[in-house]
Chains A and B, each alone.
Chain A
C-alpha cells in the first residue's frame, strides 16, 4: 500500500506523457492522482490504528544494492505518517490551485507529480541511500520548477538553490558513508543502524579515529542544516522563494524544508545520540539564533514573499531548538514534549506557510508584485482574500486555536522544562517579533488606504479558495482539538527521546 502511495503520482506523471492530451485534461489528471493518493494516505492513517506503541507499519524491504547492504526499505511511524499526510494534502491543493493559468500545464503537472513521489519516498525511506537519492532528486525537481515556471531572476535563483543545497547534500552523503563504515557489519539500513547495532556504532565512532563521531555528526548536520535551513546557511531560501511560482514556493517551504528537520529527527538524533548530547548546546544556540535572526530580518522586509521566506527560517529554528533540547538531561516529560512540538511544528508550518505562499501567488497573479508598499486597503475589494490572509497570518504568529500555537507551546514548554531556561526565554521573543511583522504586513497591504496596485486586485476565485481554505481549516482543527494528531506523534516522540538518551 505504501508503495502505491509513493509511486502513484509517478505513474500519473507517465500518463501525462501521452500525446494529444489537452491542458484541462492534464489538470484534472493531476488532481485526480493527488486526490487518490491523499485518500490512500487517509486509509493508511486509519489502518495505522490508535495506541500503536512505536515500530513501523506498512514496512517493505527489498534488495537493491546488496553489495553495500543498501535496500529499498520503506515504512511509516508516528514521525513520518503526519508528514506524509501533510505532503499529500499540500500537493493536492497545489494541483487545485494551479488549475488555471499555468504555462505548459502538462510538464508542470508531471514535474509536480514526480516531486510528490520523491517527497513521499523520502519521508517513508528507511535506508540512508534511498533517503539520499530522494533528497537529491527533490533538489533536481525543484530546480526545474523554479527555472521553468518562476519569475524575476529565476535562472540565477534556481542555480543558487541547486548548487547550495546540492553541496549540502554532498556533506550529507559523506556523513552517511561515515555511518555506514562505523556500523559492523557495514549497512545503510536505518532500522539496523538505530536498533541493536547502535551501541557498537557510537562505540566505534568514539574509539576509532579521534572525534570521528563528531565529524560524522558535523557532516550530517551541515547537510541537513542547509536544507532546513538554519542561520547562517539560509541565504538560498529567500532568493529561491521570491522567484519560484507560488505553488512551487508552497511545496518548497511546506515539504522540502521538512526534509532537513525530519532528517535530524530520524537520522542525526537516533544514530548519533552520544554526539547529539555532547553538542546539544551548539544545536540549541543555532536554533535560538535562527529563531531571532529569521524573525528580525523578516521584520525589515518589503517584499511579502521574502518576508514569509524569512519567517520560515524563524519557524524552522524552533524545531532545531526543540530537537536540541531532546539532547539535554532535563526531565523526560519535557523532552518528549519538545520533540512532539517539533513534529507538530513540521506539520503546522507546512499547512500555514503553504497557505501564505499561495496567497502571495494570488497577489502576483493579479498585480505582478509582492511589494507590500504598493498595495493597501485590499480589505475593501477583496474581503475573502483579506480574511483568509488574516487567519493565515495569525496562525503563523502562533495564535491559540490554530496549529502554530499547539506546536510552539509544546516547544517552549518542553525546552524550558528540559532546563534550557535562557534559550527558551530568548526564543519566546520570536513569537512577539513574528506578531509584529505579520501585523505590519497585514496593515500595509490589506488595511488602511488604497495603494498603487490595489485597483488590480480582485477577490479570491473559487479554485483558489478551494486550495487555501482546507489548509487553514486543518490548522484550526489541530489548534482546537489536537489530540488525534498528538496521540499519533507521542509514541514516536517518546521513541526519539529514548534513542537520544542511550
Chain B
C-alpha cells in the first residue's frame, strides 16, 4: 500500500528546502560571475518545481500515507487517558489530531494542481524576476501549500497554513523599499492570521471533545462525531479560518492588498495556493459542517453573498489586477457555498478550473504590466493586439471566467448550482454568475479594443509566453469533468460518491444568460468607448456610477471598517496601557521605594535624635537629679511637700481633660497609645 514512505514527505519538503537553501545561499551566489549566476536561482527553482510535479503525480497515483507525528502521544500509547468523549465508535476525533500525511482522492487532485500551477508560474517568473529571494520564497510558498493539502491532522495543516501566510507577507512586500507595499503585506498577513486563530481554537476544542490526543486509524466520521458543544466549536473555528484564508466576507479586503506583490505572486496566491486552501479545508470537513447544521448554512450564505457582492466590486474596478482580485473572492464564494450545500465534487471541480483560469489571467496581466508599465483598464487598449499570444490566452481565460459555454467554469459552476435546494440561495448565486459574465467581459473588452501602440514596450521572453497556452488549454477544457459519466467518476475520486452531473436545462440557462450578459457588456463598453475615443481619451465607462460605484471600487470600505473598528481601538488601548504601565504601575513602585527611603530617613533621624540623645540624656538626667535631690536640703522639706501637692493638683486637671465621655476619642487615644507602645517596643527591643 505504501511503496516508498519517504516520497510523500518529500513532496512538501523538496520545494520548501530548496526554497530555504536559495534564501540562505542566494547572497553567496550573487558574488559569482554575473553571467553565470544570473539565471541560477530561476533554473534551480524551475528544476525543483518539475521534480515536485513528478512527486505530486506519483503521490496522486499511489495515494500514500505516512504517519508523521509532530507531537508525542500522551500516556505512551494514547489509550490510557481518562477522556470524556472516547465512548462510541470512531468518535475520538483523531481524524483531526494525529494522522500524519495522507493523500486521498481530494488531496491527489490538489497536489497535482498546486504543483502544476506552481511550475507554470515559476517558468513565467524565470523570464522576469531573477533574485534568489523571490524564487526561494515562491518555492517555500508552494511547499507550504503542498503540506496544507496533504496534512491529515490539524497540527500539520496549521503548519502549512500559517507558513503560507507568512511567506505571502514576504512576497507581497517583496519590493520592500516601498512602505506601502510592506504595509500591504502586513495587512494581508494580519488579516489572515486573525482568522487563523480559529484553527488553533478548533484544535483545542477537538482535544477537549475527544479527551485523547493520540490514537489509531483516522476515524471514519472524524470530527463530525465529536460530542455536541465541542463539535460546534471545532466547526466554528474551522469556518472562521477558512473564510479568512479564502478572502470571503468580511475578510475580503486583504486580497486587494495582496496585489502589491509581483504579478507571478498574485498568479499563484489567487489560484492554486493560499485562497484555495480555505475552500479546500471547507470541502474536506463538509461532513462536519453538515453535522452541525448551522455551519453548513452559514458557509453557504457567506460564499453566496461574497460571490454576489465581490462580483459587483470587481465590476466597479478600474485596474485590471484589482478587478481580477475581486473576482477571485467572488469565484471562491462559489466553492465555499459548495461546501455548504454538500456539493464537494462540484466545489473541487470549480477549484481546479478556477486555478487554471485565474493563474492564466494574472500571468497575462503581469506580462502586460511589466511590458507596458500599466494595468489601468483604460490604458490597456491595444494590449491584446500588440501581444497576440498573451491576448488570446487572456481571451480564453476571460471567456471561461464569464461562464460562457463550452469553457470550464460554465460547467463547474453549474455543478454547484445544481446542488442548491434553497431558492433564495440559488437566486443569489445565479445573479453572481451574471456579474461574473459582466466583469469578465469588461476586462476582455478593455484589452482587445483598439488602442495606441506603445513604442517603448518590450518584447516578452519565451519563458513568459510558454506557460500561457498550457494554462489556456486547461482553462478551456477542464469542464469536461462535468460531463455525465465523467462527473460521477470525478465525484468518486474526490470522495463525493453522490455527485450528480448538472442538468442540461440548467447548463443551457446559465450558458445563455452568461453569453447574453457578456455580449451586452461588451457592446455597451465598446460603444461608449468609441464615442469617447472620438473626443477625449477619457476612461472606459466604469459601469456602476456615482457614489455606489465609488463605494464598490473601494471594496465596500471593508478595510476602513477593519481599521476603524479593530486596528485603531487596539492601538489606542495599547498606547493607554503603555502610559498606565509607566505612569501608574512603575510610578507606584518607585513611589513605594521612595516612601521606604523616607521612612528609613525618619527612623535614622529618630535614631540620632531620639535613642542616641536619650543615651546622652542619662548622665545629664543624673546630674539634674542630683541637683534636685540637693535642693530639698536647701529649701527645706516644707517646700518639697508644697511642690508635690501643687504638681498633683496640676496632674489632676490634666487627667480630667481626656475624660470627655466620647467613646471615639477614647478609641483614638487607645490607638495612639498602642502605636507608641509598638514603636517603643520595636525601637527598644
Please give the residue numbers on chain A whose beta carbons come within 8 Å of chain B beta carbons, in ascending order: 160, 163-164, 232, 235-236, 239, 293, 296-297, 299-301, 330-334, 336-337, 340, 377, 379-380, 383-384, 387, 390, 394, 399-401, 405-406, 409-410, 412-419, 421, 424-425, 428-429, 431-433, 435-436, 439-440, 443, 447-449, 482-483, 486-487, 490, 494
Is B589 a contact partner of A443 (Cβ separation < 8 A)? no
Residues of A within 8 A of B179 (CB): 443, 447-449
Interface status of B251 (Cβ within 8 A of chain A): no
In the complex, what's the smallest C-beta–C-beta distance from B323 to chain A, in angstroms? Answer: 28
Is A331 a contact partner of B84 (Cβ separation < 8 A)? yes
Is A235 a contact partner of B585 (Cβ separation < 8 A)? yes
Q: Which of B163-198 contact A (CB under 8 A)?
A: 163, 166, 169-170, 173, 176-179, 182-183, 186, 189-190, 193-194, 197
Residues of A within 8 A of B84 (CB): 331
Interface status of B74 (Cβ within 8 A of chain A): yes
List 5 A-B residue pairs with CB atoms under 8 Å apart, sorted by A's residue number.
A331-B211, A384-B27, A424-B201, A431-B193, A443-B182
Is B74 a contact partner of A409 (Cβ separation < 8 A)? no
Residues of B within 8 A of A377 (CB): 177
Interface residue tally of chain B, by bracket? 35 or more
Q: In the bound complex, how far is the Cα of B364 from the Cα of A10, in angstroms?
A: 67
Interface status of B671 (Cβ within 8 A of chain A): no
Interface status of B404 (Cβ within 8 A of chain A): no
Is B173 a contact partner of A447 (Cβ separation < 8 A)? yes
Residues of A within 8 A of B189 (CB): 435, 439
Interface status of B204 (Cβ within 8 A of chain A): yes
In the complex, what's the smallest C-beta–C-beta distance from B171 to chain A, in angstroms? Answer: 13
Residues of A within 8 A of B169 (CB): 439
Which has the most chain B C-beta neighbours within 10 Å: A400, A421, A487, A494? A400
Is A490 a contact partner of B27 (Cβ separation < 8 A)? no
Known contacts A331-B208, A333-B83, A439-B189, A412 near B200 by CB under 8 Å: yes
Known contacts A299-B574, A410-B71, A417-B208, A432 near B193 by CB under 8 Å: yes
Closest residue to A488 on the B side, CB-wise?
B72
In the complex, what's the smallest C-beta–C-beta distance from B192 to chain A, in angstroms? Answer: 10
Which of the residues B160, B212, B570, B585 comes within 8 Å of A433, measured between beta carbons?
B570
Residues of A within 8 A of B163 (CB): 399-401
Among B499-507, B575-583, B606-614, which stretch is in contact with chain A? B575-583
Residues of A within 8 A of B574 (CB): 296-297, 299-300, 433
Q: In the bound complex, how far is the Cα of B211 from the Cα of A239, in angstroms?
A: 44
Residues of B within 8 A of A429 (CB): 197
Q: In the bound complex, how far is the Cα of B233 from the Cα of A330, in angstroms?
A: 17
Q: In the bound complex, how far is the Cα of B83 from the Cα of A387, in angstroms?
A: 44
Binary A-proximity of B516-530 (CB < 8 A = 1, otherwise 0): 000000000000000
Majority secondary structure of chain A interface residues (helix, strand, loop or mixed): helix
Interface status of B87 (Cβ within 8 A of chain A): no
Is B183 a contact partner of A443 (Cβ separation < 8 A)? yes
Is A421 a contact partner of B207 (Cβ separation < 8 A)? no
In the complex, what's the smallest C-beta–C-beta distance from B320 to chain A, in angstroms? Answer: 27
Is B176 a contact partner of A413 (Cβ separation < 8 A)? no
Q: Which of B79-98 contact A (CB under 8 A)?
A: 81-84
Q: In the bound complex, how far is the Cα of B394 from the Cα of A472, in angstroms?
A: 44
Is A400 a contact partner of B208 (Cβ separation < 8 A)? no
Q: Which of B626-652 contact A (CB under 8 A)?
A: none
In the complex, what's the smallest C-beta–C-beta distance from A295 to chain B, in angstroms? Answer: 8
Q: In the bound complex, how far is the Cα of B201 from the Cα of A467, in angstroms?
A: 36
Please give the residue numbers on chain B whose beta carbons come within 8 Å of chain A beta carbons, in ascending order: 23, 27, 69-72, 74-75, 78, 81-84, 155, 158-163, 166, 169-170, 173, 176-179, 182-183, 186, 189-190, 193-194, 197, 200-201, 203-205, 207-208, 211-213, 233, 570-571, 573-575, 577-578, 581, 585-586, 589, 593
Residues of A within 8 A of B208 (CB): 330-331, 334, 416-419, 421
Is A417 a contact partner of B207 (Cβ separation < 8 A)? yes
Is A300 a contact partner of B575 (Cβ separation < 8 A)? yes
Is B70 a contact partner of A331 (Cβ separation < 8 A)? no
Closest residue to B198 on the A side, CB-wise?
A428
Q: In the bound complex, how far is the Cα of B571 from the Cα of A301, in angstroms?
A: 11
Given contacts A416-B203, A416-B205, 11 further A-B contacts (CB under 8 A): A331-B208, A333-B213, A337-B213, A400-B158, A409-B203, A412-B204, A416-B201, A443-B183, A448-B182, A482-B71, A483-B70
Known contacts A332-B81, A417-B208, A447-B176, A486 near B183 by CB under 8 Å: no
Q: In the bound complex, how far is the Cα of B214 from the Cα of A340, in angstroms?
A: 15
Residues of A within 8 A of B577 (CB): 293, 296-297, 300
Is B186 a contact partner of A164 (Cβ separation < 8 A)? no
Q: In the bound complex, how far is the Cα of B194 from the Cα of A338, in angstroms?
A: 22
Q: In the bound complex, how far is the Cα of B586 from the Cα of A44, in angstroms?
A: 43
Closest residue to B203 on the A side, CB-wise?
A413
Is A333 a contact partner of B212 (Cβ separation < 8 A)? yes
Which of the residues B173, B212, B585 comes within 8 Å of A232, measured between beta carbons?
B585
Closest residue to A429 on the B side, CB-wise?
B197
Residues of A within 8 A of B573 (CB): 296
Known contacts A297-B581, A331-B84, A435-B190, A428 near B593 by CB under 8 Å: no
Is A448 a contact partner of B200 (Cβ separation < 8 A)? no
Residues of B within 8 A of A435 (CB): 189-190, 193
Q: In the bound complex, how far is the Cα of B203 from the Cα of A337, in angstroms?
A: 12
Is B570 a contact partner of A299 (Cβ separation < 8 A)? yes
Closest residue to B159 on the A side, CB-wise?
A400
Closest residue to A301 on the B side, CB-wise?
B578
Is A449 a contact partner of B213 (Cβ separation < 8 A)? no
Residues of B within 8 A of A483 (CB): 69-70, 72
Known contacts A331-B211, A399-B163, A416-B204, A440 near B197 by CB under 8 Å: no
In the complex, what's the smallest C-beta–C-beta distance from A326 to chain B, in angstroms? Answer: 13
In the complex, what's the smallest C-beta–C-beta distance from B177 to chain A, in angstroms? Answer: 7
Residues of A within 8 A of B178 (CB): 448
Known contacts A394-B166, A433-B570, A439-B189, A333 near B75 by CB under 8 Å: yes
Q: In the bound complex, how far is the Cα of B182 from the Cα of A89, in angstroms?
A: 35
Closest residue to A156 on the B side, CB-wise?
B590
